Structure 1
């Protein structure tokens, strides 16, 4: 195995059943974020690992959404930095999903702008 292959992250293809069970069928109590084209849910896998599941909006009829999803998957899958969430894998059953390690402290936007509590920057 070459040095390059050793450092290439391997992404897991999660089943829809696995991420649906982890998020309690995408229950609103597990919703931790929402953007223009996606929602993020907290989940716990059967092995106890806490994950964040980014679900692309189903009502997004953009014909390029699959292409953009694959591009994001390719870019994020190669990012390895202490200040970014680690992409664990994806799911393409019943929609398009990205699965990340869950960050207890939220994201940068929440830290800067707040989410029900005092923000770092106002």
Structure 2
């Protein structure tokens, strides 16, 4: 068995004499200030309102449900101009409500993915604690259906 010398490896300081003082003001002034990063809306995708997505999906009705994955459900959205898109409603347990800025950054990163085998992100929505991704709609079915055909 190996023994450890705790007195040599741990450098403990006694608590401050002033009970209301929880840090050393000199140490605080030496630390760099944390600057919160501002995230702008992605330029190449459209920002949808939750109202528009509710109308186009029939209030996210089961009749518009296309599929379900580990991040949420996907609905078929029919817009007034005839355009059909797929709306992925992110499950709130996957992405908590207070991460709206991080969600916008995620959307920005996803919007830069361009490949013939990847469905194109065309928009997003981040309102009232809801986070949704809007993709091109493919009538061919899901990837699961394609990889596991029934004979």
TM-score over 0.5 for the alignment?
yes
Report the secondary structure of 1:41's partner residue.
strand
Query: Which of residues 20, 28, 45 is equivalent to 1:11?
Result: 45
Report the secondary structure of 1:99's partner residue.
strand
Q: Which runs of 5+ in 1 are unaligned?
A: 1-7
Residue 80 of structure 1: CA displacement? Answer: 1.7
- Residues 1:38 and 2:63 aligned together: no
Deviating above 2 A after TM superposition, structure 1's stretches of 4 or more consecutive aligned residues are 58-72, 106-110
| Distance in 2 between residues matched to 1:78 and 1:58, nearest whole Å | 24
Query: Which of residues 100, 121, 127 is equivalent to 1:87?
Result: 121
Contact kept, 8 Å, 1:11 with 1:90, in 2: the verdict is: yes
Residue 109 of structure 1: CA displacement? Answer: 2.6
Deviation per CA, 1:57-77, whole angstroms, max 9, x where unpaired? 134475886576445412320
Aligned pairs, number: 109
Question: Cα RMSD over matched residues?
Answer: 2.6
Q: Which runs of 5+ in 2 are unaligned?
A: 1-41
